[in-house]
Amino acid sequence: MKNWIKILCAALLLYAAVFSLWHPMAPGGLAVSATELHPGRNDFEFSGYGTHFKEAEGSLKVYVSIDSSAVYCADILQVVDDSRVFVSVFLPDTISSKRFGFAANNDVDGTIIVDSPVGHEGFVFMQGTGNPDCRYSVRQEEFSGFGFPYQPIIIESIRNLMWHVPMWFTMFVLMTIGFIFSIRALGKEEGKIELDHDLRASSAAAVGLVFCVLGLVTGSLWARFTWGDWWTNDPQLNGAMVVFLVYVAYFILRSSTPDEDKRARLSAIFNIFAFVLMVVLLMVMPRFTEGLHPGKSGNPAFSKYDLDSSLRSVFYPACAGFILLGYWIYRLNYRIQKLEQHHENQN
């Protein structure tokens, strides 16, 4: 079959688009109305996201963990609807804390945890001392339905993973194609082959630049939702911006060199420089500097804890689909450029 790449690409993208937008979220804990716990009776509202409190009212249990060392059970529960429950917990005289966490157990949703509103860092939900009648345990039977994993700040925007990350992968693939053809363009002595390779390199870089812009836009949207700003001071973001500028400079260099052979040679040299810079900026530097992206100052990628099987089953096809799409557009672009060149030469 001649067009199998295109059909495969379209099928993968359709699958990724449909599932990344329609796949439900797994339930998770959203927020707690209390900011401080004091001795005596504490009343607050526990709200979940996509939970089934009403449906599983009978089996619902809410736990409070204080300073990662003591657990108490809520003794009065008043379910408002599927995502909200009023909780009242009685604490002994000695307990008072700003570092606390909540967990809710029920038969449908499994265990849901809300971190402490103040000072999340290093907070672990532990049994420790506390009320001996109240045994907290993570329910083995997790949420039975399927859904994307719930992450505290990301929530629904985890769907962007299937759009934002493949853009960068596609850009990397296209820039690598450009890099390889730039090297080959320099390797050949004959003018004709050199020009053809140059054309391939520049077509790939042009499409790669479009994917770079798309990656920046999707990333900017995501940053606005999770980090609060359209642009944040993160090594990966700044690096991506520099990469964008370098490749724009590449096209400025091309357009300001009138002679064809010279343009081919100069832009091939600059492209090699740009590619090396891109690898340094996006793959090496973020590992050394503190940042906001997942796996900061380590491996800049989603770790195995964040990327569960339901995400993987959409994420990998999305990557493959976008890479194929990028390759397809690059081929089209190359052929258009070639035709234009041919046309110019004939006139």
Partner 1 sequence: MRQVFQSTFLQSVGYEKSGVYKLGCIFDRMNTLSALLKKEILLEWRQKHALAGVILYVLATVFVCYLGFQRIESVKTWGVLLWITGVFTAFNAMQRSFSTETAGTQLYLYTLADPRFIILSKAIYNAIFVAVLNLVSVFFFLLFFGTELLDSVDWSQFLLGLLLGSTGLGLALTFVAGIAFKSQGGVGLVAILGFPIIMPLLITIVRHSTAALEGASATSNGLNLMVLLVLNIVSFVLSYVLFPYLWRE
Q: Which residues bind partner 1 (CB under 8 A)?
A: 186, 238-239, 242, 245-246, 248-249, 252-253, 256-257, 262-263, 265-266, 268-270, 272-274, 276-277, 280-281, 285, 288
Nearer to partner 1, 8 or 266 (CB): 266
Q: How far is the CB of 303 from partner 1 (least distance, A)?
A: 23
Closest contact distance (angstroms) between CB of 290 and partner 1 is: 11
Q: Which C-beta is closer to partner 1: that of 29 or that of 178? A: 178
Secondary structure, 3-state, the chain: CCCHHHHHHHHHHHHHHHHHHHCCECCEEEEECCCCECCEEEEEEEEEECCCCCCCHHHCEEEEEECCCEEEECCEEEEEECCEEEEEEEECCCCCECCEEEEEEECCCEEEEECCCCCCCCCCCCCEEECCCCCCCCCCCCCCCCCECCCCCCHHHHHHHHHHHHHHHHHHHHHHHHHHHHHHHHHCCCHHHHHHHHHHHHHHHHHHHHHHHHHHHHHHHHHHHHCCCCCCCCHHHHHHHHHHHHHHHHHHHHHCCCCHHHHHHHHHHHHHHHHHHHHHHHHHHHHHCCCCCCCCCCCCCCCCCCCCHHHHHHHHHHHHHHHHHHHHHHHHHHHHHHHHHHHHHHC
Taking the complex as a whole, how short is the minimal distance between the CB of residue 205 and partner 1, in angstroms? 14
The pair of structure tokens assigned to 137 is 């345990």
* In the complex, least distance from residue 253 CB atom to partner 1, rounded to whole angstroms: 6
Q: Residue 235 or residue 321: which is nearer to partner 1 going by CB?
A: 235
Least CB distance from residue 214 to partner 1, whole Å?
20
Least separation in angstroms between residue 237's CB and partner 1 is 12
Whose Cβ is closer to partner 1: residue 108's or residue 186's?
186
Q: Of 206 and 323, which CB lies nearer to partner 1 in the complex structure?
A: 206
Q: Which is nearer to partner 1, 270 or 302 (CB)?
A: 270
Q: Shortest Cβ distance from residue 182 to partner 1 (Å)?
A: 10
Name the residue type at position 11. Answer: A
Q: Is the separation of the CB atoms in 123 and 99 below 8 Å?
A: yes
CB 48 within 8 A of CB 29: yes
CB of 270 to partner 1, least distance (A): 6
Cβ closer to partner 1: 245 or 336? 245
Instruction: Between 168 and 222, name the residue whose CB sits nearer to partner 1.
Output: 168
Quick one: which of 24, 16, 130 has its CA closest to 72?
Answer: 130
